A and B are shown apart, each in its own frame.
Chain A
Amino acid sequence: MTKSYVGQRIKRNEDPRLLTGQALFVDDVQIPGMLHAAFLRSDYAHARLRGVDVTKALKREGVVAIYTARDMGDDWKPGPPLVSPPATVENVVFHSRTQVPLVKDKVRYAGEPIAVVVATSRYIAEDAVDDIVVDLEPLEVVVDLEKALATDSPRVHDDLDSNLAAHLSQEKGNYQAAREKADLVIKRRFYIDRGAAAAMENRGIVAQWDVKSQQLTVWDTTQAPIPIRNGLAARLGLSTHQVRVIAPFVGGGFGPKIMMFYPEEMLIPWLSIQLGRPIKWIEDRRENFFATTQERQQIHDAEMALAKDGKILGIRHSFIHDTGAYDPYGLTIPLNTQSHAMGAYDVPNYFSELKVVFTNRVIVTPVRGAGRPQGIFLVERLLDLAAKELGVDPVEIRKKNFIPANAFPYEHKIIDQAFAPLIFDSGNYLPAMEKAVSMIGYEQFVKEEQPRLRKEGRHVGIAVIPFIETTGVGPYEGARVTVETSGKVSVATGVGTQGQGHFTSFAQVVADQLGVDVRDVHLVTGDTAEFHWGTGTFASRGAVVAGNAVHAAAKAVRAKVLKLASKVLNTPEDELELKDGLVRVADIPQRSISLGELAVLANPLRGAVEPGTEPGLEATDYFGPRYGATAFAVHAMIIEVDPETMMVDIKRFVVVEDCGTMLNPLLVEGQIHGGVSMGIGHSFYEKLHYDENGQLLNASFADYLIPTSMEVPRVEIGHQETPSPLNPIGSKGAGEAGAIPVPALFAQAIENALADYDIEILETPLSPNRLFELVHGKEKE
């Protein structure tokens, strides 16, 4: 091997197909005789279902069938809990209530499906939805997180004593004792509100039950095709070999597409079997606001105890986390919040109490960041307030508190989202921080530029936020690598792909091992017929877990190639090299054989092979990390605020990312760009406005504003590589990173820019309007 592909800025293998419209998305699937489904969804957020009359709707020409919960008989079952706390974890209260395919007795959020219409076209199906008469008795709505916990609150789930879904406390050291010794205690209440993932492609499902082959094929925009296949087979009473789930190209996942067994995901395949017809359902944008999971609402009462030199002595917070109407995703998000509430800092004492509440709103599951932005917002805000109080520079107070490079692996002595000990595997925070500070020109800005611009009456501000991200969690992923007789290599892995560039990064790993051109490595992801062991794409784990599985399988194939070639070329293995699609003797390049020829020899048509020989040049292998790898990054930003409109103009945006060994810096940068723009949205534009009746008031892109190219700045990126010791490649995740610190970054930058107004930002997301209110309110006092 002369040139290594890993670490190179290789352009994406998948882009020619994507850019020329030759990539299959779920809505591209067309099957003769295919029917179309549309859902009747509740307008009320909380209501007793008294009856559904479909008589008129059934008479509409083109309507094939209409199903309500009653029509499903014994097949009506709530969805499976996905990640409930194991029984071994002590002192955890957890009430599992999972989503239902169709409302049977009670509506629990506006948008919950009540009936499904199957018709010859989507137009007819939607018209028939309007023909259905539903009798709903509105009930008092649970929206406010604190009121939801009051004893006299109406209940989302009547069979529970209260709206408390979960309760858990964690302690490290002794916060109370630390607080007594503290020189300064900062205590505040923080509000974090909901945003949408707003993927470019909404959800969609096509299911085809083939009676004669007794095979069910499902095309699904899921991030987790294998668990979906397993679950569908179990639910439908089929063997897993009768179910094939394909997650083709997907236009963005961002978390909600990992929410397994959405009502539609269970119903469409079930309906296809009932009716013996292929059926398609594509979510429209309005439905996406009501039917696809959301995240982020929490209320924190938090405090930080510090010594007067700025050293953190401890953090304590109790918080309420909104899970919406059901809690299929267990405690993943609030546990992630706890794992990040100490940030990148050496915090000796920590106490955290979390309460999860049911409310009459759309179900909450991870959205890019998954509880991490809330934890980072909390700790970074507290540090900013402390720095101000102590008269310490915000950058210095952070440097003082970093976990030192020699302290890794750093054990936090609390449990993480997998209910396993939270350990930061590796890191080197200080140099990355210094790099970011120098890239943004912190000193120069603070000492020269800012005072100069302030004199001109301009409101410019700077912010620097370092943060950690726990990534690359288990359990495992697998991959199969095959050298074909053409000499090209095919790779299959179980994770789905939603734009991460797997077709390139994984190909680079394989190309390095087998000495082939990266363009000759063909990858299949997310098709259970091709590979059917694994979990999915989430928790910034694709490059770490699947990447290392691909690496392991490619190494195994390399071993097979060398063994066979050694025999054929009559040369010891260690004198052979794999290069340009050939195996050759290192010092006699003309003595070589192509990988394709070797593949033919490895799969003979006649003759005998030695006992124990496996045919072909193929291997399957798996990788499961002992625990997750922890990435680190620093974001820095310079903004200008227009004091009249409170519009924020981002002048510069710097990111220094350390996600361990990079497979492809170009892809890492792409992830950062995407993450940053999502973070900007969730910090300053995007907020789901629910009224007191659980009605979402901005369910369209006319009112729910996602940042456009006008709002997203050019991001200047610096890299640092601190390889993870937990996997052979040394990689850490980067998928969610970009979005995580941005709310904290905005808060710090805005406070800095509006220093003369002396405001405190204790909430996110903001907006020009909200900022105006905050400043205005202050002026009135």
Chain B
Amino acid sequence: MRIEGEYIFNGPREDVWEIIRDPEVLTKALPGTQSLKQVSESIYEGELFVRVGPVVGSFSGRLEVSNEVHPESLTLTVEGEGKPGFAKGSGDVQFIDRGDGTTLLKYAGEVQIGGKIASVGQRLLDTVSKSMARQGLGAVDEALQARIKAKTGGEQVEYKPPSEVEFAAAVAKDMASEVFSSRWVWLVVALVAVIILAIVFITSFR
């Protein structure tokens, strides 16, 4: 499965780089992360809880950061397996200074997914993975804002990562928005509305 996307951080590249490389922040920001510990300079190990449709469970695995070109790019390699199946893959992450104090993060990679999560969750996988990435990066951005505020204003701002429930709700919302963007759904909704109106109309004359 090809994974790619981009995200604009509201902060300078150096700060984005730093926060992305901070395991403390990553643990809190990556949705579903139950544990993440740094075992060496560039290797992390941990557990990630996922829910893709009917497939639920934890992946345990490792994350390796390589090809680091500070603060421009790095390569992430992930490998994990668990009850829902397995995933392994790698992707390149680029940090692009947009020249206006914001940073464009671009990522692209290939992930191999197998087991239950691939065979039963396939239809939802794309949406869920995109949603997870978007939310994870959003949470990192919030942490970044907190940190920048602390740096400039000197005030301590507590960063609160999203809870499991908030995360699940956001995934559901993303999935729903995908459904509602389809023309057919609106056609059905319109049809139902017409039928309801007709029923109301008819019954009011009784």
Residues of A at the B interface (CB closer than 8 Å) are: 43-45, 110, 130, 138, 286, 289-290, 691, 693, 695-700, 702-703
A286 to B86, CA, bound (A): 17
Which residues of B lie under 8 Å from residue A290 when comparing CB positions?
Answer: 119
List residues 52-100 of chain B with CB under 8 A from any CB of chain A.
81, 83, 85-86, 88
* Residue pair A130, B83 in contact (C-beta under 8 Å): yes
Quick one: which of A44, A130, A289 contacts B119, CB cutoff 8 A? A289
Which residues of A lie under 8 Å from residue B114 when comparing CB positions?
Answer: 43-45, 110, 693, 695
Which residues of B lie under 8 Å from residue A44 when comparing CB positions?
Answer: 86, 114
* Residue pair B120, A699 in contact (C-beta under 8 Å): yes
List residues 108-158 of chain B with CB under 8 A from any CB of chain A.
112-116, 118-120, 122-123
Please give me the residue from chain B that is nearest to A41 by CB atom: B115
Chain B CB within 10 A, most for which of A44, A695, A702 = A695
Contacts A693-B114, A695-B114 given: A703-B86 contact, CB under 8 Å? no
| 27 A-B pairs (CB sep. < 8 Å) | A43-B81, A43-B85, A43-B86, A43-B114, A43-B115, A43-B116, A44-B86, A45-B114, A110-B114, A110-B115, A130-B83, A286-B116, A286-B120, A289-B119, A693-B112, A693-B114, A695-B115, A697-B118, A697-B119, A698-B119, A699-B120, A700-B119, A702-B120, A702-B123, A703-B120, A703-B122, A703-B123
A773 to B7, CA, bound (A): 32
Which residues of B lie under 8 Å from residue A699 when comparing CB positions?
Answer: 119-120
Which residues of A lie under 8 Å from residue B113 when comparing CB positions?
Answer: 695
Which residues of A lie under 8 Å from residue B112 when comparing CB positions?
Answer: 693
Please give me the residue from chain A that is nearest to B1 by CB atom: A691
Contacts A130-B83, A693-B112, A696-B118 aside, 19 further interface pairs with beta carbons under 8 A come to A43-B81, A43-B86, A43-B114, A43-B115, A44-B114, A110-B114, A110-B115, A138-B88, A286-B116, A286-B120, A289-B119, A695-B118, A695-B119, A696-B119, A697-B119, A697-B122, A700-B120, A702-B123, A703-B122
Q: Dominant SS at the A interface?
A: loop
Please give me the residue from chain A that is nearest to B119 by CB atom: A699
Please give me the residue from chain A that is nearest to B120 by CB atom: A700
A110 to B119, CA, bound (A): 10
Please give me the residue from chain A that is nearest to B57 by CB atom: A130
Which residues of B lie under 8 Å from residue A691 when comparing CB positions?
Answer: 118
A45 to B120, CA, bound (A): 16
- Pairs of residues from A and B, 6 with the lowest C-beta to C-beta distance, nearest first: A43-B115, A699-B119, A697-B122, A695-B114, A695-B118, A43-B114
A304 to B21, CA, bound (A): 64
Looking at the assembled complex, report how far the CB atom of A82 sits from the nearest CB atom of chain B, in whole angstroms.
Answer: 28
A314 to B112, CA, bound (A): 46
Please give me the residue from chain A that is nearest to B118 by CB atom: A695
Looking at the assembled complex, report how far the CB atom of B62 sits from the nearest CB atom of chain A, in whole angstroms.
Answer: 15
Which residues of B lie under 8 Å from residue A286 when comparing CB positions?
Answer: 116, 119-120
Please give me the residue from chain B that is nearest to A110 by CB atom: B114
Q: Could you count the A-B residue pairs with CB atoms below 8 Å apart for me: how many are there?
A: 42
* Residue pair B81, A698 in contact (C-beta under 8 Å): no
Chain B CB within 10 A, most for which of A43, A286, A695 = A43
List residues 160-183 of chain B with CB under 8 A from any CB of chain A.
none
* Residue pair A698, B122 in contact (C-beta under 8 Å): yes
Which residues of B lie under 8 Å from residue A130 when comparing CB positions?
Answer: 83
A286 to B113, CA, bound (A): 17
Which residues of A lie under 8 Å from residue B116 when comparing CB positions?
Answer: 43, 286
Which residues of B lie under 8 Å from residue A703 when comparing CB positions?
Answer: 120, 122-123
Please give me the residue from chain B that is nearest to A290 by CB atom: B119
Which residues of A lie under 8 Å from residue B119 when comparing CB positions?
Answer: 286, 289-290, 695-700
A691 to B86, CA, bound (A): 14
Looking at the assembled complex, report how far the CB atom of B125 sits from the nearest CB atom of chain A, in whole angstroms.
Answer: 9
Looking at the assembled complex, report how far the CB atom of B4 sits from the nearest CB atom of chain A, in whole angstroms.
Answer: 18
A700 to B118, CA, bound (A): 11
Looking at the assembled complex, report how far the CB atom of A253 sits from the nearest CB atom of chain B, in whole angstroms.
Answer: 24
Chain B CB within 10 A, most for which of A130, A138, A696, A697 = A697
Looking at the assembled complex, report how far the CB atom of B87 sits from the nearest CB atom of chain A, in whole angstroms.
Answer: 10
Which residues of A lie under 8 Å from residue B88 when comparing CB positions?
Answer: 138
Which residues of B lie under 8 Å from residue A696 when comparing CB positions?
Answer: 118-119
Looking at the assembled complex, report how far the CB atom of A422 sits from the nearest CB atom of chain B, in whole angstroms.
Answer: 39
Please give me the residue from chain B that is nearest to A698 by CB atom: B122
Looking at the assembled complex, report how far the CB atom of B96 sits from the nearest CB atom of chain A, in whole angstroms.
Answer: 31
Looking at the assembled complex, report how far the CB atom of A49 sits from the nearest CB atom of chain B, in whole angstroms.
Answer: 14
Please give me the residue from chain B that is nearest to A704 by CB atom: B119
Which residues of A lie under 8 Å from residue B123 when comparing CB positions?
Answer: 702-703
Looking at the assembled complex, report how far the CB atom of B49 sits from the nearest CB atom of chain A, in whole angstroms.
Answer: 15
Looking at the assembled complex, report how far the CB atom of B141 sits from the nearest CB atom of chain A, in whole angstroms.
Answer: 33
A290 to B86, CA, bound (A): 16
A393 to B86, CA, bound (A): 54
Please give me the residue from chain A that is nearest to B184 by CB atom: A645
Which residues of A lie under 8 Å from residue B120 when comparing CB positions?
Answer: 286, 699-700, 702-703
A693 to B120, CA, bound (A): 16
Which residues of B lie under 8 Å from residue A700 when comparing CB positions?
Answer: 119-120
A290 to B114, CA, bound (A): 13
A731 to B119, CA, bound (A): 43
Looking at the assembled complex, report how far the CB atom of A46 sits from the nearest CB atom of chain B, in whole angstroms.
Answer: 11
Please give me the residue from chain B that is nearest to A689 by CB atom: B122
Chain A CB within 10 A, most for which of B81, B113, B120 = B120
A730 to B81, CA, bound (A): 59
A691 to B114, CA, bound (A): 10
Looking at the assembled complex, report how far the CB atom of B12 sits from the nearest CB atom of chain A, in whole angstroms.
Answer: 40
Please give me the residue from chain B that is nearest to A700 by CB atom: B120
Which residues of A lie under 8 Å from residue B81 when comparing CB positions?
Answer: 43
Which residues of B lie under 8 Å from residue A43 when comparing CB positions?
Answer: 81, 85-86, 114-116
A697 to B85, CA, bound (A): 12
Looking at the assembled complex, report how far the CB atom of B89 sits from the nearest CB atom of chain A, in whole angstroms.
Answer: 11
Which residues of B lie under 8 Å from residue A693 when comparing CB positions?
Answer: 112, 114
Looking at the assembled complex, report how far the CB atom of A138 sits from the nearest CB atom of chain B, in whole angstroms.
Answer: 8
Looking at the assembled complex, report how far the CB atom of B11 sits from the nearest CB atom of chain A, in whole angstroms.
Answer: 38
Looking at the assembled complex, report how far the CB atom of A154 sits from the nearest CB atom of chain B, in whole angstroms.
Answer: 15
A468 to B119, CA, bound (A): 37
A703 to B125, CA, bound (A): 13
Looking at the assembled complex, report how far the CB atom of A661 sits from the nearest CB atom of chain B, in whole angstroms.
Answer: 46
Looking at the assembled complex, report how far the CB atom of A546 sits from the nearest CB atom of chain B, in whole angstroms.
Answer: 38
Looking at the assembled complex, report how far the CB atom of A117 sits from the nearest CB atom of chain B, in whole angstroms.
Answer: 15
Please give me the residue from chain B that is nearest to A702 by CB atom: B123
Looking at the assembled complex, report how far the CB atom of B39 sits from the nearest CB atom of chain A, in whole angstroms.
Answer: 19
Which residues of B lie under 8 Å from residue A697 when comparing CB positions?
Answer: 118-119, 122
